[in-house]
Chains A and B, each alone.
Chain A
Amino acid sequence: MFRIGNGAGFSGDRIDAPGPVVDTLIARGGPAAIFFEVLGERTVALAQLEKRRDPARGFEPMLERLLEPILEKCARHGISIIGNFGAANPTGAARAISRLAGRLGLESLRIGVVEGDDIREQVDIAKLEVYEADAALDQGGSEIVSANAYLNAQPIVEALRARAQIVVTGRCGDPSLALAPLIHHYGWAEDDWAHLALGSAVGHLLECGSQVTGGVYYDPGYKDIPDPANIGFPIAEVGADGRMVITKAEGTGGVVNLQVVKEQLIYEVHDPANYITPDVTLDFSGVSLRQDGTDRVEVLGVRGKPAPERLKATVCFEGGWLGEGEISVAGPNCLARAKSIAEVLLERLRRRQLKVQARVDLIGIASVHDDDSGTLWRSYAGPEPADIRVRLAVAGAAQDEVDQAAREVLALLCCGPAGSGGARWRTTQRIRTQSYLVPRASVHPRVSVKPAGEWR
């Protein structure tokens, strides 16, 4: 049996999560790996912007904090580490790991790097076919910040075969991070769709960390979990016979039950019979689940079909600027005062003829479920709440105009209705993404594996 744990489901995840996962893998014994998934759709672009400012950066900012508690233990017990920590700078991430390894006395730690996901040099983006879910978006010829193909598991497998103890990638399929050590351990062929589907399903279920062990799940009174401040991260057991069980780190909170596994199985899936990864097309339509003891769920019936001919690539463009301002009102007549703030802010933007797209939310009445025109809060007929926060959001191409628009919220501290307070505002650069389909022949992954001392 091979065990694979997850140590992070996004950049910004709990940094004390990997420790109990590694301790559990060691306690249970046997071959094992841990993977980290830290690259959201925009993360590579944000990392590219950081790399422009400082060429030594542009990789996962929490890298050292995530790895320091586990690196020596994993090396000593032969637990492989795989992570897309590289973002826009996998070599920079390898150098950071090399420095950390040096401090921990692990000079001979073999660090593998997978590159080649960045396709800006060799592919003409304008000639690629747009990925279907994105067809409605118009990028309007904005400057490209990043363009990365989703590599499959094979380059990671190659690094593991070259005896890498930790593998750093940039963009690759999220499930590929978990599939790779399984391919390496069991020797599955590149067209063994049934096994590749099994391993990719493990990756799909684990790649969001605690989301399969209680995170994004608990709903007090309806779906309760123990100790939500210490949710254990997931571990999958995969047998040579294809048996797959999802469980979690020992001595932690959270749950692994049928409900939470169902939620994560369908998460970010469109057609359950055709879930596309760079390694295999997964078919979840015949999946059934079985509770196999406390915090153990067996997943049965995952099927595989051939991988897609082309790879998905996500291109990030400069997307102008976002301005946000917020201010609060509370107590008697706060609903009327909040509505007045909303109307005054929109009138101010009109009077100053600022070229921005604007939206107002009445947080406490309607916000996240509303549309940009405020249909829900404008038609609200319920009781007056005790407290309302008014939020203005503006977007535009010019930083100064967006900033001026957002500052209108600040001006309400003196010019607004009675009892308005707690104003905040900020302006941030935006990234827009568009996904394309790119021929596999245009993408050339590169793998290098060297001892820590040689990466500096």
Chain B
Amino acid sequence: MANPEELVTVPLHAVAHGRAGDKGNRLNVSVIAYIPEAYALLAAQVTPERVLALFAHRRAAKVTRYDLPLLHAFNFVIDDVLEGGVNGSLNLDGHGKTNSFRLLSLPVEVPRQMVRSPAGKTAS
């Protein structure tokens, strides 16, 4: 058996879920830890700087992170990332709704026991 404490690098999607919404040319993406124990690790690793880098090719101007510790959640507000927003964009997804999964592709390093397997259960 693999050591459950061993650190593994996985996409954020394996330890958190989230949802994207838009207002004008501003996108918000929530990132919510599946288990409370992962929250502090994500707070240290899912920084505004790393999120800004993920959206650099779309010339995102600024990322602000709001922390919601009671919900084990973060709210990332990403400015000027929608290349005109739903009304001006040439992107098929003008609302930016698919971008939650761009953020959930960010690599994070967590103990193996925190990783959610596709069976829908936390691996042990």
Residues of A within 8 A of B (CB): 41-42, 131, 133-134, 136-137, 216-217, 219, 221-224, 259, 262-273, 284-289, 301, 319, 322, 357-359, 361, 363, 367-372, 375-376, 391, 393-395, 430-433, 435
Contact = CB atoms under 8 A, between A and B. Distances in A.
Contacts of B57: 370-371, 375-376
B118 to A, nearest CB: 4
B98 interface: yes
B22 to A, nearest CB: 7
Interface string B84-102: 1111101111000111001
Given A42-B87, A270-B77, A375-B57, A288 B23 contact: no
Nearest to B91: A368
A367 B68 CA distance: 32
B92 A361 contact: yes
Interface string B60-86: 010010101011010101001001111
A433 B26 CA distance: 13
A13 to B, nearest CB: 15
B87 A222 contact: no
B110 interface: no
Interface of B: 13, 17-19, 21-26, 28, 30, 32, 34, 57-59, 61, 64, 66, 68, 70-71, 73, 75, 77, 80, 83-88, 90-93, 97-99, 102, 116, 118-120
Contact of B71 (A133, A289, A358, A361): A289
B75 A269 contact: yes
B12 to A, nearest CB: 12
Nearest to A435: B24
A394 B17 CA distance: 34
Contacts of A272: 66, 68, 75
Contact of B90 (A264, A369, A372): A372
26 contacts: A131-B24, A136-B25, A137-B25, A219-B17, A223-B17, A263-B30, A263-B32, A266-B19, A266-B30, A267-B30, A270-B23, A270-B75, A272-B66, A284-B68, A287-B71, A288-B70, A288-B71, A289-B71, A301-B70, A322-B90, A358-B90, A361-B92, A371-B83, A393-B91, A430-B88, A433-B24
